[in-house]
Amino acid sequence: MNITLRQLKVFASVAKHLSFTRAAEEMHLTQPAVSMQVKQLEGQLDIPLFEQLGKKIYLTEAGEEVYQYSRSISQQLDELETVLANLKGLEHGKLRISVATTANYFAPHLLAAFCQLYPGVNVILNVTNRQTLLAQLSDNEVDMVIMGQPPAGMELAAEAFMDNPLVTIAPPDHPLAGKKRVPIKELEKEMFLLRESGSGTRNAMQRFFDEHGITITTSMEVSSDEAIKQSVQAGLGLGVMSQDAVQLELSLGKLAILDIEEFPLMRHWYLVHRKGKRLSAIAEAFKEFLLNDAAASLGERFPLLARAGRGKR
């Protein structure tokens, strides 16, 4: 058997997406090149790994087995890379990190500050939703992630490094804007814009309103914080969002934070990785940097975040 690592990597990408097209995009290859790699692998193994039914492809029983082994081999290679990076020290390490979409408003600034300390580090940053973050952790595709409340039931190590207050946002000319300590019951008269089902912000919001016996009316469900901000500015309803995500709009006078009783909802930002994962020297350095210096690093650009982060360590 004379198979190559490249064949296994291409096959694993096709198996993960069950799509030659998406695998080609992920691997930065043409679709014919992906198909050729898979055919060569099947030829070496002398057994089909995929079957096509209609327009969809599925893994065969042999394909399922090869997929599991390919993932195991990939993880062992990643561990080898970590061991070698540790031997080289902190000058040439690679950091693979994914962040929740809301955290993208400040995470790049943290990474920039970290890279100034370790200019040789190679950062691979992915910004995505909560569901994908959890899948990446489960598949051991990243060193660590920055996200809101980690889920129960997964073998994860999580440490809070900064507060993440959730606030109620409205257009500046909203009747409740500027009023003090608005009773929470007043929110039942308002329309709300929600993130998609499964969003950490939406989960926290729904738990809070349920605990306080508040029934809210939803005007729209949207899949991004940017869409919520634009929709609130257009007068389509109120939103509950991380304060981190609206600092620019607040400074420009495009949005207002309502002073509602029991708000803000205080959550935290967490640094999360697989429990027992062997972190590289550069990943350990980033972890220490985040837990000890995140708020100070954001101080000038994000004064509200810096104040929120004080006292976390």
* CATH code, 249: 3.40.190.10
Say if residue 250 is in the same domain as residue 177: yes
What integer is the mean pLDDT of 124-140? 91
Question: What is the C-alpha separation between 61 and 63, in angstroms, rounded?
Answer: 5
Comparing 198 with 20, the larger pLDDT belongs to 20
Among 20, 54, 76, identify where a domain stops.
76
Q: What is the pLDDT of residue 151?
A: 85
- Categorize the per-residue pLDDT at 82 as very low, low, confident or very high, splitting at 50, 70 and 90: confident
What integer is the mean pLDDT of 144-157? 90
Residues 6+ apart with CB under 8 A from 34: 10, 13, 14, 20, 23, 24, 27
Structural domains in the chain (count): 3
Say if residue 158 is in the same domain as residue 169: no
The 8-class DSSP code of residue 260 comes to B
> Do residues 259 and 179 touch, judged by C-beta distance below 8 A?
yes
Q: What is the pLDDT of residue 98?
A: 96
Q: What is the pLDDT of residue 96?
A: 93
Q: What is the pLDDT of residue 239?
A: 93
Phi and psi angles of residue 131, each rounded to the nearest 5 degrees, phi first: -60, -45
pTM of the shown model:
0.66
Answer yes or no: is pLDDT of 313 > 80: no
The answer to which of 174-183, 204-213, 214-223 has the lowest mean pLDDT is 214-223
Say if residue 42 is in the same domain as residue 157: no
The 8-class DSSP code of residue 49 comes to -
How far is residue 291 from each of residues 82, 101, 160, 235, 259, measured CA to CA in Å? Answer: 21, 20, 8, 38, 30
Q: What is the pLDDT of residue 74?
A: 85
3-state secondary structure of 104: helix
Q: Residue 312: which of 164, 153, 103 has the closest Cα?
A: 164
Say if residue 233 is in the same domain as residue 277: no
Question: What is the C-alpha separation between 100 and 144, in angstroms, rounded?
Answer: 12
Residues 6+ apart with CB under 8 A from 17: 23, 26
Residues 6+ apart with CB under 8 A from 211: none
Say if residue 97 is in the same domain as residue 71: no
- 172 lies in which domain range? 163-266
Say if residue 134 is in the same domain as residue 273: yes
Q: What is the DSSP string of 176-236?
A: TTT-SSB-GGGGGGSEEEEPPTT-HHHHHHHHHHHHTT---EEEEE-SSHHHHHHHHHTTS
Answer yes or no: is pLDDT of 125 > 90: yes
What's the mean per-residue pLDDT of the chain? 87
Say if residue 150 is in the same domain as residue 21: no
- Categorize the per-residue pLDDT at 124 as very low, low, confident or very high, splitting at 50, 70 and 90: very high
Q: What is the pLDDT of residue 309?
A: 46
Say if residue 102 is in the same domain as residue 240: no
Say if residue 167 is in the same domain as residue 181: yes
Q: What is the pLDDT of residue 86?
A: 65
Say if residue 184 is in the same domain as residue 225: yes
Q: What is the pLDDT of residue 280?
A: 84
Q: What is the pLDDT of residue 308?
A: 45
Q: Which two tokens stand for residue 224?
A: 């991004």
What integer is the mean pLDDT of 101-120? 88
Say if residue 140 is in the same domain as residue 194: no
The 8-class DSSP code of residue 151 comes to P
Answer yes or no: is pLDDT of 89 > 70: no
Answer yes or no: is pLDDT of 168 > 90: yes
Among 76, 94, 129, identify where a domain stops.
76
- Categorize the per-residue pLDDT at 223 as very low, low, confident or very high, splitting at 50, 70 and 90: confident
What integer is the mean pLDDT of 252-259? 95
Among 43, 60, 76, identify where a domain stops.
76
Say if residue 119 is in the same domain as residue 233: no
230-255 pLDDT, tens digit each: 999 999 999 999 888 898 899 899 99
3-state secondary structure of 170: strand
